[in-house]
Amino acid sequence: MAGEIRERMVEGAMVLLARRGLQATSFSEVLSATGAPRGSLYHHFPGGKDQLVAAAVDRAGAILSDAMESVAGEPAEAVVERFLAIWRAVLTRSQCEAGCAVLAVTVATDSAELLSHATAVFRAWRERLADLLRQGGVPAEPARRLAMVLIASAEGAVVLSRADQSMEPFEAVAHQLTEQGRAMRRGKEEK
């Protein structure tokens, strides 16, 4: 039961970070969104808000990494398409009101510890994407570069789509990234 409450609070914080950002994600907001009892705050997060936010960032990182496992060993194009499908789903489910909890923390925190936490998640995503691309036949250095481009481009596209309240920016970027994935496959087939 206690673990369930903690997990619910972490999930709630992750959703609030993605929708409202770091400043609007308070303990009160998390309690309201999750129905968790007030006494559970410092029981589960004695380190305060930063501890809760760090747990939410970790959860966001794990969710994306886990969601990418289905394309292990697939061609680069499938890796790119799966990564984009995850972000497309975030935008469509939220009607362009949610983005990335990790990005929200990265751009708003003044805590070196939280920034380091977010950095570690982005680094893990880059490494996992590069690994998946290598498994799909992309050489190491192009895989590393494409992984960085995927994350940076998708994050920017999500931000633009949220600002415009439209999927158009995301789909334009997705089209370009998918073409890059196809080109990686074609380049491999031509050799």
CA distances from 168 to 59, 95, 108, 124, 171 (A): 28, 13, 26, 28, 5
HSE value, Cβ hemisphere, 13 Å, CA-based, for 122: 21
Record: fold of 2-190: Tetracycline Repressor; domain 2 (1.10.357)
Region 159-183: what's the mean pLDDT? 96
pTM over 0.75: yes
Q: For 133, phi and psi rounded to 5 degrees? A: -65, -40
71-84, pLDDT tens digit by residue? 999 999 999 999 99
Residue 184 pLDDT class (50, 70, 90 cuts): confident
130-170, pLDDT tens digit by residue? 999 999 999 999 999 999 999 999 999 999 999 999 999 99
The answer to whether residue 123 scores a pLDDT higher than 70 is: yes
* Confidence at residue 183, expressed as pLDDT on a 0 to 100 scale: 87
The answer to whether residue 173 scores a pLDDT higher than 50 is: yes
Domain regions of the chain by residue span? 2-190
The answer to whether residue 38 scores a pLDDT higher than 90 is: no
Residue 191 pLDDT class (50, 70, 90 cuts): very low
The answer to whether residue 64 scores a pLDDT higher than 50 is: yes
- Look over the chain and give the mean of its residue pLDDT values, rounded to a whole number: 92
